[in-house]
Chain A
């Protein structure tokens, strides 16, 4: 079955960096468009970034553009989110998610990893 498992979250200070990872299984990762979506504590969902199946296209929310980088390693069945210059407003649970191919939706989600940016 489809599984997505995030890791790498933690408590960091403003201005520092963190890299999130997502290990996937149960589907052909190299064929799949992938996303990161975040949810601040007690708040709604915010789409963060998308990477095409071949990594030639990467798109970002305006709030993270220039600070976050999405990437993938198909040989490791892994998705990444490099987060630099972190701000308190980046505090959230970060979900790794798979695109529902050709239907512009998100069908499977990981359980998320919590990132807390605080002094």
Chain B
């Protein structure tokens, strides 16, 4: 199975400041079809997960443009340009290059 490792596991951030989460996979996430299937999800307290980003950098419908994704191969990053109070929660990366699909451990974003 592909192991997804996120850093940091906790990220205290000042409102209005940027935040960055790293996700590294144990092997390349480039699929046989040439696409890289890495997505990012947000889970607010008491809520189900919500899709933010798919295929590395594509924002899902309704996701604010302060969220952006980048990376390639085995190294990926989610950035929040200016953290707002509603961004508090746990963020997960997920790989879908190979079954079983696997998630990172999660990064908790909280306000300082």
Binding site for B on A (CB under 8 A): 37, 44-47, 50, 59-62, 95, 100, 103-112
Contact = CB atoms under 8 A, between A and B. Distances in A.
A45 B103 contact: yes
Interface range for B: 20 to 34
Chain A contact residues, majority secondary structure: strand
B92 A105 contact: no
Interface in B48-64: 48-51, 54-55, 58, 60
Contacts, number: 65
Nearest to B53: A105
A40 to B, nearest CB: 12
Residues of B contacting A: mostly: loop
B102 interface: yes
A99 to B, nearest CB: 9
Query: When A and B form their complex, which 4 residue pairs have the shortest distance between CB atoms, in order from nearest?
Result: A104-B96, A105-B54, A104-B37, A109-B48
A105 B55 contact: yes
A79 to B, nearest CB: 15
A107 B51 contact: yes
Contacts of B39: 105-106
